[in-house]
Chain A
Amino acid sequence: MNLFENIRLALEGLRANKMRALLTMLGIIIGIASVMAISTLGSAMTGSVTKTMDKIGGKNIMVSLSPKNYDTQSTLQEEDLITQEELDAFRNTYADQIKAISFSTGMGSGQLNSGFIHKDVSITGASPDYGLVNNVNLVQGRFISDRDMDGTRNVIIIDTTLRNNLVGVDGDVIGKEIQVDTKSTNETYTVIGVYEKMVIDNPLFYMGDDTRIECFIPITTAKSLNPDTTNQNGYENFTIMATTNTDSAAFAQTTKEYFIKGLGSLSDFTIQAESLEAIASEATGMLATLSLGISVIAGISLLVGGIGVMNIMLVSVTERTKEIGIRKALGARNSAIRSQFIIEAIIICLIGGIIGVGLGSALGIMGSTLMKFPTSPPFLPMIIALCFSMAIGVFFGFYPANKAAKLDPIDALRYE
């Protein structure tokens, strides 16, 4: 007696008791559906973290000098700073892994004045590669050039809201002169570009509404305006953009080791190098563990469902005692009876599993759409869920099936 005969027999048995089969499946359906829904949501969240990280700059490594010991007051010394020469040497050594290096320095907030318009802004001194590294989306004009840098020009890149305020949506703001007052300076800048502020629509990355407008000026200009002169000839921090096929986490480590060597052991400072990718993978790893944990809890309902299957199979064996007797009298071996009932249990669980996967995927898709990162259900958990539901069928079907197989044919035939 082969598998197909058994499956056919089992389906016949289930067809005779549709309602009961469906109710029995319900436990499995709910269990599998919740596991599927959670793993779909989990993978959606993981996917969204990765996507947002890419948007922010997934291949970026942020390098900075930081005190070895935060307890003691340590001030940066001129010799601690990373010089342009050191950077150039580094860049040459790892040319194939570095796409760009950008520098920036905050100038703090100030007020922008242009005619009757007064706006609070924050000023960042940036290098030409800053735009590339930080995904600055330029919609008009250009970003800072090397010539702006060399000439410490008073040029500025503003965002679209500010442009709209100054000249309206269709207005031409390029070349317009605006005045920015900060605590220590009041300078006039020429607008050379307009960028659109990056919108991060991921609720997981919500950090409050930042209404301040960020404007970029050349870093050389920023430094020349800064009364603090300690960091004039070197860099305290910078951002490396690794090439796409570089393992940025490993490269962060390489970078760190490279610059620590140059720092000298006497310095109070050390180098920090963190890759966004590593931070992202840590976050997604945590999410994965979390969704696995919840899935396991949801899996407990599968256990309950399995016990339901066992219960109904025991009832079914008792009900069909006479049938078992007839089958045995006609020459069914114990093994044939056993496999008939086990396969019936497996089929109940498998159909329940399939319905559960469908339902859970639908719920997961709905949920992830509501949470604004629509995703398709992950393939692997689907297969695992189906295999698991079959395993439940085998596990909880075995005892009733064995009971059926061991019935004495004479007693079973006599059973009414």
Chain B
Amino acid sequence: MRNKIIEMRGIVKSYYLGTPNELEILHGIDLDVYEGEFLSIVGASGSGKSTLMNILGALDRPTKGHYYLDHLPMENVRDDGLSQIRNKKIGFVFQTFNLIPRSTALKNVALPMLYGGIPRSERSRRAAELLQLVEMSGRSHHRPNELSGGQKQRVAIARAMANDPAIILADEPTGALDTHTGRLVMDIFHRLHQEQGKTIILITHNVELAEETERTIRLRDGSIVDNRMNGHYQLEGCYESV
């Protein structure tokens, strides 16, 4: 039995725009993600993708339902607790990179370790190592505005890896990149998945990219409408369900 990294049961997220105008975005999501999986979540805009990602990433709390991340129940966790969970368990990769503009690539990569309380020398050492992993060693002392989009995203991926998180949560990581650069970024994800056995959740509306992953979850209007193994992974998937 593979280790269940994420277990979601009946996740509901509603926004109250003043009663009785309650707006339910997610209508009871059940989702399991296993360690080492490369999963994609697809859906049109307004499908609840972002809301689901915020909950998966411990940026937000569900209104109802249970969420276990790496076997930790996420109910009743205070703000500081969520910060800590984000810091240790989750690596974010954003569409717009979200690097700190004033800091060098190296410092950006070291940032999650700073908040994780890792000593300075260890931070620099590991940040340099991670930049090497994404082939960005040569630019470690450049600021984000001196880097191309693809380079920024590689730095962001290195940063997501900083505290060796349980999952990497990539929200449209190629959305702001051209096809060629996007390809390079996707290759890095595949490499992390294959070589390091990282659990990766890719959130995208690009069906082609989603096809590359092991399993695709399709969201529509706040519910999961499809959950299947992709292409050459299908065999393996069927094997598992037996």
Q: Are A323 and B117 in contact (CB under 8 A)?
A: no
B84 close to A333 (CB less than 8 A): yes
A1 to B102, Cβ gap below 8 A?
no
- A332 — which chain B residues lie within 8 A by C-beta? 83, 87, 115
Question: For residue A325, which residues in chain B have a CB less than 8 angstroms away from its CB?
Answer: 98
Instruction: Sort A-B residue pairs by CB-CB distance and give the 7 closest, nearest first.
Output: A331-B87, A331-B115, A330-B112, A333-B83, A326-B98, A331-B86, A332-B115
Fill in one digit per residue for A136-151: 1 if any B CB lies within 8 Å of its CB, else 0: 0000000000000000
Q: How far is the CA of A268 from the CA of B60 in the complex (A)?
A: 94
| Chain B residue at minimum C-beta to C-beta distance from A4 | B120
What 1/0 flags go to A12-54 for Cβ under 8 Å of B?
Answer: 1100100000000000000000000000000000000000000
From A1, A13, A323, A329, B59 is in contact (CB under 8 Å) with: A329
Contact indicator B83/A334 (Cβ below 8 Å)? yes
- Nearest residue, chain B, Cβ from A336: B115
* A-side interface residues, number (CB < 8 Å): 22
Are the CB atoms of A331 and B79 closer together than 8 Å? no
Task: Please list 11 pairs of residues, one from A and one from B, whose beta carbons are closer than 8 Å in the complex, sorted by A's number.
Answer: A327-B115, A328-B83, A330-B87, A330-B92, A330-B112, A330-B159, A332-B87, A333-B83, A336-B115, A410-B54, A413-B94
Closest-by-CB residue of A relative to B82 is A409
Of residues 151 through 194 on chain B, the ones whose CB sits less than 8 Å from some CB of chain A are: 159, 163
- B100→A326 contact, CB < 8 A: yes
**A403: interface (CB < 8 Å):** no
Within 8 A of A (CB), among B89-105: 92, 94, 98-103
B80 within 8 A of A: yes
Closest chain-A Cβ to B65's Cβ sits at a distance in Å of 18
- Residues in chain B near residue A334, CB distance under 8 A: 79-80, 83
Residue B116 interfacial (CB < 8 Å)? yes
Contact B115 A410 (CB under 8 A): no
A5 contacts the other chain (CB 8 A): yes
Shortest C-beta distance, A416 to chain B (Å), equals 9
Q: Residues of A at under 8 Å CB distance from B?
A: 1, 5, 12-13, 16, 322-323, 325-336, 409-410, 413
Within 8 A of A (CB), among B43-98: 54, 57, 59-60, 79-80, 83-84, 86-88, 92, 94, 98
Neighbouring A residues of B88 by C-beta, 8 Å: 331
Q: CA–CA, A388 to B60, complex, Å?
A: 41
Contact status A1-B60, CB under 8 Å:
no
Shortest CB-to-CB span from A153 to chain B, Å, is 89
* Contact among A16, A326, A333, A410 with B80 in the assembled complex (CB-CB below 8 Å): A333
Q: Which residues of A contact B159 (CB under 8 A)?
A: 330
Complex Cα spacing A325 to B159, Å:
15
Are B100 and A323 within 8 A (Cβ)? yes
Alpha-carbon gap, A332 to B87, bound state (A): 8
Q: Is the CB–CB distance between A329 and B100 below 8 Å?
A: no
Query: Do A329 and B80 form a contact, CB below 8 Å, given A5-B114, A13-B102, A410-B60?
Result: no
In the complex, the chain A residue whose C-beta lies closest to that of B112 is A330
**What is the chain B residue whose CB lies nearest that of A331?**
B87
Instruction: Tell me what chain A mostly uses at the interface: helix, strand, loop, or mixed.
Output: helix
**When chains A and B are docked, how far (Å) is the Cα of A322 from the Cα of B100?**
9
Chain B residues within an 8 Å CB radius of A335: 80
Across the interface, do A330 and B86 meet the contact criterion of CB distance under 8 Å?
yes
Docked Cα-Cα span, A327 to B116, in Å, equals 12
A193 to B91, CA, bound (A): 97
By a CB distance below 8 angstroms, the chain A residues around B84 are 331, 333
Contacts of A331 in B (CB 8 A): 83-84, 86-88, 112, 115-116, 163
Instruction: Pick the residue among B54, B101, B115 that contacts A1 (CB under 8 A).
Output: B115
Which B residues between 214 and 232 are near A, CB-CB below 8 angstroms? none
Q: How far is the CA of A16 from the CA of B114 in the complex (A)?
A: 20
Given pairs A333-B83, A335-B80, 17 additional interface contacts (CB within 8 A): A5-B114, A13-B102, A16-B102, A326-B98, A326-B100, A327-B111, A328-B83, A329-B59, A329-B86, A329-B92, A331-B83, A331-B88, A331-B112, A331-B116, A332-B83, A332-B115, A336-B115
Residues of A within 8 A of B100 (CB): 323, 326-327
Give CA–CA (A329, B88) in the complex, Å. 11
| A12–B111 touching, CB < 8 Å | no
Residue of A329, A333, A335 with most partner-chain B CB within 10 A? A329
Q: B114: which A residues are within 8 A, CB to CB?
A: 1, 5
Nearest opposing residue in chain A for B107, CB measure: A12
| Assembled-state Cα–Cα distance A333/B117 (Å) | 12
Smallest Cβ-Cβ distance to B117: which chain A residue: A1
- Expressed in whole angstroms, the Cα–Cα distance for A333 and B88 within the complex equals 12
- Docked pose: A217 CA to B60 CA in angstroms: 100
Closest A-chain residue to B53, C-beta based? Answer: A410
Contacts of B163 in A (CB 8 A): 331
Known: A327-B115, A330-B159. A409 touches B102 (CB 8 A): no
A42 to B201, CA, bound (A): 70
Complex contact B103–A12 (CB within 8 A) = yes
* Assembly CA distance A326 to B97 (angstroms): 10
Q: How far is the CA of A206 from the CA of B117 in the complex (A)?
A: 67
Q: Say which residue of B57, B79, B117 sits within 8 Å of A329 (CB atoms).
A: B57
Expressed in whole angstroms, the minimum distance between the Cβ of A316 and any Cβ of chain B is 12
Q: With contacts A12-B103, A410-B59 known, is A329 near B98, CB below 8 A?
A: yes
Measured between alpha carbons, how far is A327 from B159 in the docked complex, in Å? 12
Docked Cα-Cα span, A1 to B118, in Å, equals 9
CB <8 Å contact, B111 and A330: yes
- A413: which B residues are within 8 A, CB to CB? 59, 94, 98
A91 to chain B, nearest CB (A): 75
